[in-house]
Structure 1
Amino acid sequence: MQTRAKASIRKFKMIAGVGIFAAFIAFGALLQVSSQGDSSDTYPKGFRGNTCTVETETLTIGYSSYYLSDEYEISEDEPRTPYIPVQCGKIPQPGMLNISIDLLHPDSSRNVPLAMRLAKLVYVADETVEEREILSVPARPHPSGVITHAFRLDEIGHYVIYLDGTSPENIHYLVRVPVTVGHDWQDNMRNFLPPFLRKYI
């Protein structure tokens, strides 16, 4: 009798465990969450912590950005500038942006001269989009695998950071990181919706 009771308890625990696991999978699918913790359509590989992973056919990078509002007044007594980490490419308003790019894969990309370029997307009269270059950093290799730069974004709008280079073997490395300054009405509406409805806005 006791053996049968123990078997029933064991069976119940196994069914409950499978049910919880299935519910977890279904919940993740419903919220469209990637394995790295964000909405899966944000970036090809999402983000982990404050780092977004951007992947192309030839290059994978980790992108981190830190923001300082123009309204912030820096005190001489502060030990360091209080930059705020921001999620991937969304900046609340114009200000200083300090970026860090990690060359994750392949390791050989660290020996390839890579140029960095910042462009602003401008919508012209016929609804086409033009890129206006704001900043250009000459190509050079990055043996440490880390690229850092600080710049100011003066206007609300959409920007793109490009990382571009070609290896001696004629392999073209190109990564495009979108950056948005300011939030539109869709972003504000998403904040009031359940996560599984946000992808439809």
Structure 2
Amino acid sequence: MAVRHDPSRPVDRRVRLQGRPVDAYPALPPETERGSVRRITVVGEEVLSRPCREVTEFGTPELSALIDDMFLTMHVADGAGLAANQVGVDLRLFVYDCPDDDGIRHVGHIVNPVLDLPDPGSRRLVDDSEGCLSVPGATMDVPRTDRAVVRGFDKDGHPLVIEGTGYFARCLQHESDHLVGHTYLDRLSRRDRRDALRQMEGRRDDVFARRAVKAAELSG
């Protein structure tokens, strides 16, 4: 999911790591120092349009390395979230580094997440701007609930419950969609989908160039 910078949002130094508050946290998560940049898949590639497989082996070096790579790739692309199939791996896993509407930063990963939304009678839908690292350069308004919970596991198999409100709730829903083979384009009308694809066609070269520059800066 692409980051939306909104200067009207309050700034808060609080951070919730894997759903738990921490006193301090670096601007770049430690995973980025260990990771390698991977290519981000683009809408139309088959891996983005099928449900991802459950992770069955926890605590492996391969899973840790994938998470490290995903964090670095997400930051190079100025993302707020990234699902495994966005780096070509069809596993149920996503990482995030995303603010909520109170400016609190949420950082972490979750494996085999199950999305839990409020009951229809109590949920509030919000139309707001949304982008996607796999739809480079395009943004459209997408309706999402203003609260969401995902339940799953960390990379070592420990249970996790991550709660989100506002923009972070949008992120949790966006990334969960990826893991069932959907992008935000699937939630748009045909007309809006065509508009988003036209935006991508006109802007993606500039997006790719910015990513390349940032990757070079971080590797330097």
User: Above 0.5 in TM-score?
Assistant: no
Higher percent of residues as helix: 2
Higher percent of residues as strand: 1
- TM-score for the superposition, normalised by structure 1: 0.29
Structure of greater Rg: 1
- TM-score for the superposition, normalised by structure 2: 0.27
Greater RCO, CA 8 A, separation 6+? 2
